[in-house]
Structure 1
Amino acid sequence: MGGINMNLYFELLKTPIFKVEDVNKFYNNVDSARSAIKRLMKENMVVRIRNNMYTCISGETRQPIANRFQIACNITPTSYISHHTAMEYYGITNQVFYEVYVSSETSFREFEFDGYIYRYIESKGDEGVDKPAFSGGIRVTSPERTMIDSIKDMDKISGMEEVIQDISCMKNLQEKRLLSYLERIGNQFLYQKTGFLLSKQKEQLGLSDIFFKECQNKIGKSKRYLSHDITDGVYDSQWKLVVPSDLNVKNGVIEDAAI
């Protein structure tokens, strides 16, 4: 390797993800910058993630420097990790999905890199999106917003069983934040699902009776199924929901032969 390319490689190691424009700062010539990237790729020192998005390969592990969370947060200027991927980031779930859920104000074409598929979810605003210190530029929904988003999109993404397991692993949620997100979305069905599911772990989550009363006041009169997965259920009159007939949660596992 030439000295210039090694110097460039060590500069690029300082950032998990880079673009041609970042390399061009060292050249002031786009063609030269592109050529430099190609040379580094040929030497297996850099890998292309997707169009104009690159990361270095570690000399020690021979793996990409950027992790899936950092990649997700660099796909668009507004992208952040949410739903099950945010649960993974917080260590709430032990189950690794090979799908990375990325919320963004602008859409992007889904792609695969290093064994993970990056899925686009339309962003519903950036309230409750945090930027953890020393994370390498990660943007992630707060635990409270992650909980509400996961319940809202339960049938689209994780499924009822996974969401219940995630709830059982969470502790001490801030109910003011939960109510803020619920109010912003303003969906009666979401109040029903949230009230029912979180009431099963009320003490562990640190939620007061006031929280559940607020939810009950917003559920309206409609009777609904908790999930489209339910084929044999019973009616919960408190939340006006049809729920699995023997829904018992033990260590985060649904004990229900009907599912």
Structure 2
Amino acid sequence: MSYLKKQGILSHIRKGVYMPSDMQDKFRIACNAVDDGCIVYHAALEYYLLQTQEFNWLYVHSSSCFRTFEYMNESYIYKPVKFLLNPVLIDGDNPYPIRVTSLNQTIIDCLYNINLAGGLEELLYAISELDPEKISEDEMLHCLKLYNNKSLYQRAGFILHHYKDKLGLSDDFFDVCRKNMGNNTSYLVHPYHCNSYSKEWNLCIPDNVMKQNQKDAYYEI
């Protein structure tokens, strides 16, 4: 390893991990520098080109905990998800494939932890840019069931209902959300920012979190 490093063939990524020096793809590095690495949360949104901001850090799920490490001005941060449902494998024949949470799981994961999605505005942009042909309400409902979190059903119902027609979501989807949501009041984001209320979803929300103009939806925080 020392010889190959001196020859410029390998680079030291983190303790005990070396990869080809010409490896420039941060997603491949994220997935292969840790055990069973998988891109999650905002990093997954970025991979799917559903982000407005490009951070200099990536959230990575791994089968074993790892310390944050830096390589080529990028920070790789351990942020495990509760489960992996149908993760997408890209370039499986490549020695350094990319693994990323499915689009459907990514949306539910980000609704569960909006901060890790880059914030509410970033998440709303991502959902507004989704291709309805790539969305499966059955898979999203399965993810919601695996989370088994009443507040998540409230957040998913409230936000996704604004995109019901665009994404082709059925009434049954929202009936399931209503059936499983809690009786207690929940908060979309930090209570400090919530000064309005959705009676339908028993959810405290920011004022004007969603406004509708004549052509399409636009969002304010």
Q: TM-score scaled to structure 2, two decimals?
A: 0.88
CA RMSD of aligned residues (A): 2.0
Structure 1, unaligned runs of 5 or more: 1-33, 58-63
For the residues of structure 2 that align with 1:224 and 1:194, how far apart are their CA atoms? 12
Secondary structure of the corresponding residue to residue 49 of structure 1: strand
1:153 and 2:113 correspond: yes
Cα pair distance change 1:84/1:253, threshold 3 Å: farther
Larger Rg: 1
Q: Determine the structure 2 residue equivalent to 1:52.
A: 16
Cα offset, 1:36, TM superposition: 2.3
Cα deviation per residue 1:208-228 (whole Å; 9 max; x = unaligned)? 111011111111201112100
Cα deviation per residue 1:120-179 (whole Å; 9 max; x = unaligned)? 012423223121246741111000000000110113552111111111111211000000
Segment drifting more, 135-144 vs 192-201? 135-144
Secondary structure of the corresponding residue to residue 141 of structure 2: helix
Cα deviation per residue 1:214-258 (whole Å; 9 max; x = unaligned)? 1111112011121006535211011000111212256775224xx
1:166 and 2:130 correspond: no
For the residues of structure 1 that align with 2:165 and 2:91, how far apart are their CA atoms? 30
Q: Determine the structure 1 residue equivalent to 2:140.
A: 178
Q: Determine the structure 2 residue equivalent to 1:238.
A: 200
Among 218, 222, 245, the residue aligned to 2:184: 222
Equivalent residue letter for 1:208 = S
Q: Greater relative contact order (Cα 8 A, min sep 6): structure 1 or 2? A: 2
Q: Determine the structure 1 residue equivalent to 2:64.
A: 106
Q: Determine the structure 2 residue equivalent to 1:68.
A: 26
Cα pair distance change 1:156/1:66, threshold 3 Å: closer
For the residues of structure 2 that align with 1:243 and 1:102, how far apart are their CA atoms? 29
Q: Determine the structure 1 residue equivalent to 2:104.
A: 144
For the residues of structure 2 that align with 1:209 and 1:254, how far apart are their CA atoms? 24
Cα pair distance change 1:181/1:161, threshold 3 Å: same
Identical amino acids, percent of aligned pairs: 32
For the residues of structure 2 that align with 1:50 and 1:232, how far apart are their CA atoms? 41
Segment drifting more, 236-245 vs 226-235? 226-235
Structure 2, unaligned runs of 5 or more: none
For the residues of structure 2 that align with 1:171 and 1:214, how far apart are their CA atoms? 23
Aligned length: 214
For the residues of structure 2 that align with 1:179 and 1:110, how far apart are their CA atoms? 32
